[in-house]
């Protein structure tokens, strides 16, 4: 009777680690497509076009977040969800989609007039239709997460990215206006909703029979989502307030590049970790170890990438976006720290949810926003649009320590446990930045795409060599402990074996 109990915790963290690794590696491919798409669109559209779209989508996203129920998270947390739970969750999703569309349609005229931007109103009409279509997505896709089948989860996300890319580029070439972004969203949503039922056959039934069980979990999520609206979208409206549509466009496109590690690596890692935490809920030591190791791996992956973007942002902007986006460079460099430290803080949120500490999470969130919003407002008042971003960045740094400290008290882990898994990455990243910044001043930004591409390649490779070299030296000097480095080397060797089917000596830390 004791064997299964001791074996299970060893298997499940491995599944979670594999899921996180798969989502990180494969999501990188997906994000490359997104960056390529943004680079093309930046040459077909203007910052003003992107700003108009941001105004419209921000309204929809605010309504969606305020009404968020996290139905998938509620189903994952259940030990054995039944057909009635899935049917109830699907019914709630459809009702929510209809309510969202009604609110967006009712507010379209008011939003357009209050922002003095009549082009926003028809955009909101299309976005309302998109919300309705999206609400019909197959709720049983969450079963792949419950089963820790993240390969299928990624496949669905990857196909979504491909469909969105093709639809957006085609429409942008034909229309040459912001309508390409709006219509491609509707088209992609319709195609992927149909595909969701092909991937996991399911005939939903309208019922609310299990609504108490669903909302027993979701009531806290609704409150957290309301606070997330303030956290995530206050900066969008502040950019519009202090800088207009152009500033919003510069910020939005700059964010897509500067926040790449946070949005396309850190966020996907949290998905398998949440499922893994739910499996380890009743094994506190294993849960604590999974949490600490997960943070170490997250820090190891996203920190050098983010700081690398900071160091060479003046090369990325003209090469990826074109000369008309030159003003995005200083915004991107600030966004790097805003997105990076926010990613550290957001890593902790799943732990509060899984351990049923949502009440504490809500209180902490309110305290955090009581500092963040005034800081962003003050920054915008003093220095305009970029000042608001500085306010968000400063509070992100404060918030990372705030959230991590609060999470460690829940699982009763000392702060030194986190420091032990991140100090080598901190040192390696510091050396990398100290090498890159002086060399960037010695070789100014070149004229013409060939020279820009050469400079970007040289500095990217140099940064990678310096960081990896210092990290590995420190790791070896520390006795090659088990951690992010050993996991990364194991992944790399596994990839080499798959590409070159030869007999390689197994890696030994």
Half-sphere exposure of 148 (CA within 13 A, CB side): 18
Predicted TM-score (pTM) of this structure: 0.70
Question: What pLDDT does 13 receive?
Answer: 44
Give 461-467's long-range contacts (Cβ < 8 A, gap of 24+): 462/435, 462/436, 463/304, 463/308, 463/311, 463/312, 463/432, 463/435, 463/436, 464/308, 466/428, 466/431, 466/432, 466/435, 466/436, 467/304, 467/308, 467/428, 467/429, 467/431, 467/432
Provide Rg for the chain, Cα atoms: 23
Q: What are phi and psi of 154, to 5 degrees?
A: -65, -40
* Pairwise CA distance, residues 16 & 276, whole Å: 5
How far lies 465's CA from each of 92, 432, 471, in Å?
51, 9, 10
Within 140-283, residue ranges assigned H as helices are 142-146, 150-175, 179-199, 211-258, 260-261, 267-279
Question: What pLDDT does 160 receive?
Answer: 85
Residue 265 is given by DSSP the state I
Q: What is the mean pLDDT of each run of 10 residues along the chain (509 residues)?
A: 38 48 55 64 71 79 74 72 86 92 90 79 92 91 75 79 86 83 90 91 87 67 74 78 78 85 70 66 81 90 94 88 82 94 90 81 91 92 90 95 92 90 95 94 84 92 95 93 84 67 49
Write out the DSSP string of 73-90: HHHHHSSS--HHHHHHHH
Region for 479 from its dihedrals, namely left if φ exceeds 0, alpha if ψ lies in -120 to 50, beta otherwise: left
Question: What pLDDT does 393 receive?
Answer: 95
Using alpha carbons only, what angle is made at residue 400 by residues 398 and 406, rounded to the nearest 5 degrees? 105
How far lies 424's CA from each of 296, 413, 496, in Å?
10, 20, 25
Q: Are 213 and 71 in contact (CB under 8 A)?
A: no
Give the SS3 label for residue 182.
helix
Region for 335 from its dihedrals, namely left if φ exceeds 0, alpha if ψ lies in -120 to 50, beta otherwise: alpha
Question: What pLDDT does 416 receive?
Answer: 92
Using alpha carbons only, what angle is made at residue 411 by residues 407 and 414, rounded to the nearest 5 degrees? 80
As a 3-state breakdown, the chain gives helix, strand, coil percent values, each rounded to 5, of 85, 0, 15
């Amino acid at each position: 009777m004791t064997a299964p109990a001791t074996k299970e915790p060893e298997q499940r963290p491995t599944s979670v680690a594999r899921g996180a690794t798969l989502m990180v590696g494969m999501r990188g491919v997906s994000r490359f497509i997104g960056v390529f798409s943004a680079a093309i669109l930046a040459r077909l559209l203007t910052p003003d076009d992107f700003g108009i779209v941001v105004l419209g989508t921000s309204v929809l996203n605010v309504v969606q977040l305020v009404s968020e129920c996290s139905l998938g998270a509620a189903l994952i947390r259940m030990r054995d969800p039944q057909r009635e739970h899935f049917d109830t969750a699907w019914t709630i999703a459809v009702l929510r989609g209809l309510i969202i569309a009604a609110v967006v349609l009712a507010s379209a005229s008011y939003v357009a007039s209050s922002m003095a931007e009549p082009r926003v109103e028809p955009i909101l009409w299309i976005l309302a239709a998109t919300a309705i279509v999206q609400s019909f997505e197959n709720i049983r896709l969450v079963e792949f997460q419950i089963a820790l089948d993240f390969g299928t989860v990624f496949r669905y996300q990857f196909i979504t990215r491909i469909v969105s890319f093709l639809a957006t580029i085609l429409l942008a070439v034909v229309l040459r206006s912001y309508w390409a972004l709006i219509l491609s969203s509707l088209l992609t949503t319709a195609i992927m909703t149909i595909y969701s039922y092909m991937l996991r056959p399911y005939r939903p039934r309208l019922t609310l029979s299990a609504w108490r069980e669903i909302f027993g979990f979701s009531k806290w999520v609704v409150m957290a989502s309301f606070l997330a609206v303030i956290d995530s979208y206050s900066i969008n409206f502040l950019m519009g307030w202090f800088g207009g549509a152009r500033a919003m466009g510069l910020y939005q496109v700059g964010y897509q590049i500067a926040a790449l590690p946070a949005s396309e690596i850190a966020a996907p890692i949290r998905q398998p970790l949440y499922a893994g935490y739910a499996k380890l809920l009743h094994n506190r030591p294993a849960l604590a170890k999974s949490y600490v190791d997960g943070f170490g791996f997250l820090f190891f992956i996203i920190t050098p990438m983010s700081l690398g973007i900071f160091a060479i942002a003046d090369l990325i902007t003209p090469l990826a976006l074109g000369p008309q986006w030159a003003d995005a460079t200083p915004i991107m460099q600030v966004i790097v720290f805003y997105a990076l430290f926010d990613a550290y803080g957001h890593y902790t949120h799943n732990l509060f949810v899984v351990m049923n500490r949502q009440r504490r999470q809500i209180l902490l969130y309110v305290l955090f926003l009581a500092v963040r919003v005034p800081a962003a407002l003050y920054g915008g008042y003093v220095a305009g649009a970029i000042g608001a971003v500085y306010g968000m960045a400063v509070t992100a740094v404060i918030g990372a320590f705030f959230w991590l400290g609060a999470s460690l008290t829940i699982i009763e882990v000392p702060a030194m446990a986190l420091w032990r898994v991140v100090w080598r990455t901190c040192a390696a990243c510091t050396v990398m930045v100290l090498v890159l910044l002086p060399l960037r001043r010695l070789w100014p930004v070149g004229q013409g795409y060939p020279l820009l591409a050469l400079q970007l390649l040289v500095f990217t490779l140099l940064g990678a060599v310096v960081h990896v070299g210092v990290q590995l030296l420190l790791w070896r000097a520390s006795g090659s402990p088990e951690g992010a480095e050993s996991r990364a080397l194991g992944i790399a060797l596994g990839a080499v074996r798959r590409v070159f089917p030869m007999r390689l000596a197994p890696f030994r830390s």
